[in-house]
Amino acid sequence: MGFKNPSLFMIFSSLCILYSFLKLTKADPWLLVNQTSPSSNVSGGNWQLLQSSVGVSAMHLQLLPNNKVVIFDRTDFGSSNISLPPGSFCPKNDCTAHSVLYDVVSNTLRPLHVLTDTFCSSGALDPNGTLIQTGGFNEGDHVIRTFAPCGADSVACDWNELNATRLVDRRWYATNQVLPDGRIIILGGRRVFTYEFYPKNDALNNTKSFYLRFLVESRDPEENNLYPFLHLLPDGNLFIFANKKSILFDYKRDIVLKQFPLIPGDDKRNYPSTGSSVMLPLRLSGRWPPVVEVLICGGAPAGAFMKSDKMKVFVEASRTCGRLRVNDANPQWLMEAMPMPRVMSDMILLPTGDVIIINGAANGTAGWEDAVNPVLSPILYSVNAQLSQRFTVLSPSKVPRMYHSTAILLPDGRILVAGSNPHTTYVFTGLYPTELSLEAYNPYYLDAKFNSLRPSIISVESGSTVSYGSRFGVSFSVSLFRQGTVS
């Protein structure tokens, strides 16, 4: 399984350069990361408005290997604020676009054609960097769509729907994860308690779905088990978390290998009590398999969705994070308190190995008109800091981003932030209007005072493909030290 796109390869090699930079200091890389990001430095980030409007509310963002970002929304709410090109095909007689392609380098965009409803669908990149987006709402709930990275003729790239291949079960609020063999597992969804695989292959028994009792056991009257958290572990098994429960799952044999303790407290963590999760960086020296830690932050108390959706009573969101060493002999949750409550946030691993928690609301849950009090300030979670120093509140944005907001890490180290539409249609008046703007948050490590520490790529010696186990060389320079090469 190789990376066949040079731009994806450059992203991959940049991670190696970060490691080599740390290696040049002759210090423990993990300690140095911690030393270069004390609270006196990390608050120096800033916000940048990239586009006042991209025309669609960014329910979904996906970075492609060629430094372009696919942005898309649902298709069942009426017109968007960007038109399709004159003379092009208008799906459902709607000549506005519900998806755009954003070019990170040129800060430009163009409209795309998405045919079926992608409302709360799910996706993942395959090994070649093609986006596989599955399911959604209405006529889109069994649909498999692809978007391949654009070549030289970027105008020719658009969404493609696989009419001859469909999902076995309806997938709405499901979760996708790419697997070591190149397949993608698609798990869960509203009132669906199964998983299936893409691509469909009779020889691999991939043309049917498989029942997973855990999805039934983790459901409550509010559901709270949609968009389950999936993390692929170094041993090839899956960590699956939904509501308050989690398991270690062998998808090859369809066996639950372990049940982990319930995360402590009354807070629920998955949609509609939407928290967020990351698997923390792996330390690849020493023991094998490496220590694997999962971090889950935010959510909402039991009953919060019913109160917000039916009574418009918006209870305070969860203030807690849970951290679990998955491969300990007796795993136990370590609970920590964030500086403020948060629901519907996004969590992103940074190049430093730390985590940024961004977007979301302080009261309520996910859903139309179901949250208030947007949280404007991101939080930095310093993975290796002492407990009392883990959280740092960062510079606030001026833009509220709650339901259907999104954020991703760009190859240049910025955070791309977009979306927020608390309404069933586009509404541009009132307290929490639909947000069409596109911003970048520039973390502290992009500050000019760190220029002497930031590696610059000089050349890459490899060809166009990087495969697992292969070697490649990268020449780089760090002005504070010297030019070097790492293989």
Q: What is the pLDDT of residue 463?
A: 65
In a domain, 38, yes or no: no
The span from the CA of 376 to the CA of 340, in Å, is 11
Q: What is the mean pLDDT of residues 430-443?
A: 96
The reply to whether 81 falls in a domain is yes
Domain hosting 188: range is 50-282+289-455
Say how far apart CA 476 and CA 486 lie, in whole Å.
8
Q: What is the pLDDT of residue 10?
A: 41
Give mean pLDDT, residues 477-484. Answer: 70
CA distance 455 to 457: 7
pLDDT for res 43: 60
> Does residue 464 fall inside a structural domain?
no
Give the chain's mean pLDDT. 88
Residue 345 pLDDT exceeds 90:
yes
What is d(CA 418, CA 406) in angstroms, rounded to the nearest whole number?
Answer: 5
Residue 268 placed within a domain = yes
**pLDDT tens digit sequence for 353-393:** 999 999 999 999 999 999 999 999 999 999 999 988 999 99
Question: Average pLDDT of 117-144?
Answer: 97
Tell me how many domains the chain contains.
1
Contacts for 453 with CB less than 8 Å, ≥ 6 apart: 21, 36, 478, 480
Structure tokens at 76: 């069942």
- pTM for this predicted structure: 0.89
What pLDDT score does 155 carry?
Answer: 65
Residue 13 domain flag: no
Residue 68 lies in a domain: yes
In a domain, 220, yes or no: yes
Q: What CATH number did the domain enclosing 394 receive?
A: 2.130.10.80
Predicted pLDDT of residue 27? 35
pLDDT digits (tens, 9 = 90+) for 146-193: 999 986 556 678 999 999 999 999 999 999 999 999 999 999 999 999
The residue-averaged pLDDT of 123-127 equals 96
Per-residue pLDDT at 433 exceeds 60: yes
Assess if residue 326 is contained within a domain. yes
CA dihedral 186, 127, 327, 38 (to 10 degrees): -110
